Amino acid sequence: MRTFSSRVLGACLALACALAAHAQGAAPAPANRFEVVLLGTGTPGPNPARFGPSTLVRAGAQNLLFDTGRGNTIRLTQLGIPLRAIDQVFLTHFHSDHTNGLPDLWLTGWLPPPYASRTTPLPLTGPVGTKRLAEGLQLAYADDIRIRKVDENLPAEGIAFAVKEIPEGEGVVYERDGVKVTAFRNDHGEHIHPSVGYRIDYLGHSVLISGDTRPSAEVEKHGKGVDLLVHEIAAASPGVIEANPTLKPILAHHTTPQEAGEIFTRTKPKLAAYTHFVLLSAPGFPPVSPDELRRQTRERYQGPLVLGEDLMRFVIGDTVEVVPWAGKP
């Protein structure tokens, strides 16, 4: 007879608890809640340990989602958050690994079960091009939408988008009940634009999400003194670029640990955290290890640093508490 491992059993129990939370309804959120959850810390490569790039910010009763990488709906379900409970989605840029989970969030969130049941348009904010993306999805899934409207009597409002584009890629793009979100240009490369990062302010505290970027003066400008600076990271195994020159442009579009260390030293956040781990490797060239990432960062930064993991939570107050995922909401 086969038996479940304790890890698998724990995951099943966590999922059952999450689904029960959907069915019963969550308790009211405390007004002073300000926390960040890394839903996905990975890249385009399929990786069960690191889902696609996506970060959840919970401010009071609001749930703000930054990027919609692969598997974001699964992570939200693990947290016991109904898909309809996302108050606003923000995109940083249009690379597929940051948007390929958007159709799932949008379509699955419209379905009638308790984990979904969205009856209003999905609010979507991003750089110029966001409207085109939304219109393209509506065209691509027109048959599915038509069928579910007549077959399941789902409301038309629930499968609409409410799109807001950021014309110049900079400025306050969201303000509600004390939560302010500011977009700023970052630098993801000569041809990868528009591309933005976001700063979130609430109750005198602040979080910066760099988005995909090379070292950027705008990241430093908006990140000075924040409570939590969530920054992308990229590193290549020794010799891998020389052996595989096609990887060189990828590294040039991102920030190395040494470069990130300089940014953290100048911005002085209460806590710096890595996400979107672009760890370039190839056969015969193993990925850079976590210890090596820390070592390279420490060449230029000695402050608080965390290597992010999927479902890691940061509770922001007078200090920033780091809460690893323990398998339950």
pLDDT for position 170:
80
In a domain, 271, yes or no: yes
Task: Count the Cβ atoms, other than its own, within 10 Å of residue 267.
Answer: 21
pLDDT for position 9:
43
Q: Is 97 a catalytic residue?
A: yes
How many domains does the chain divide into?
Answer: 1
In a domain, 6, yes or no: no
For the chain, give the longest Cα–Cα distance: 61
pLDDT for position 328:
64
Residue 273 corresponds to which tokens in the numbers above? 């955290």
Rounded to two decimals, the pTM is 0.92
pLDDT for position 26:
56
pLDDT for position 12:
46
In a domain, 19, yes or no: no
Three-state DSSP state, 146:
helix
Q: Work out the angle at residue 165's Cα, subtended by the Cα atoms of residues 163 and 167, and round it to the nearest 5 degrees.
A: 165
For residues 109 and 118, what is the distance between their CA atoms, to the nearest angstrom?
A: 6
Distances (CA, A) of 188 to 162, 171, 194, 298: 26, 19, 9, 24
For residues 69 and 96, what is the distance between their CA atoms, to the nearest angstrom?
A: 8
Nearby residues of 166 by Cβ (< 8 Å), 6 or more positions away: 125, 126, 127, 128, 173, 183, 194, 196
Residue 225 corresponds to which tokens in the numbers above? 């003194």
Q: Which H or E element spans position 90?
A: strand 88-90
Is the separation of the CB atoms in 54 and 66 below 8 Å? yes
In a domain, 139, yes or no: yes
In a domain, 64, yes or no: yes
* Mean pLDDT (10-residue bins), the chain, 329 residues: 43 49 62 97 96 98 98 98 98 98 98 98 97 98 98 97 90 97 95 95 98 98 98 96 94 97 98 97 94 98 98 98 87
Exposure class string for 200-212: b at 16+ Cβ within 10 A, else e: bbbeebbbbbbbb
DSSP 25: -
In a domain, 24, yes or no: no
- On the question of a cis peptide bond just before residue 123, with omega within 30 degrees of 0, the verdict is no
Residue 28 corresponds to which tokens in the numbers above? 């009211």
Residue 173 corresponds to which tokens in the numbers above? 């793009």
- Which of 67, 97, 187, 212 is labelled catalytic? 97
In a domain, 328, yes or no: no
Nearest Cα to Cα of residue 50 among 187, 186, 233: 233
Nearby residues of 172 by Cβ (< 8 Å), 6 or more positions away: 180, 181, 182
Nearest Cα to Cα of residue 207 among 234, 176, 179: 179
Residue 44 corresponds to which tokens in the numbers above? 């385009």
Range of the domain at 123: 29-323
Is the separation of the CB atoms in 103 and 137 below 8 Å? yes
Tokens 């260390």 belong to: 261
DSSP 242: H
CATH of the domain at 80: 3.60.15.10
In a domain, 231, yes or no: yes
For residues 230 and 38, what is the distance between their CA atoms, to the nearest angstrom?
A: 9
Is the separation of the CB atoms in 24 and 258 below 8 Å? no
β partners of residue 162: 123
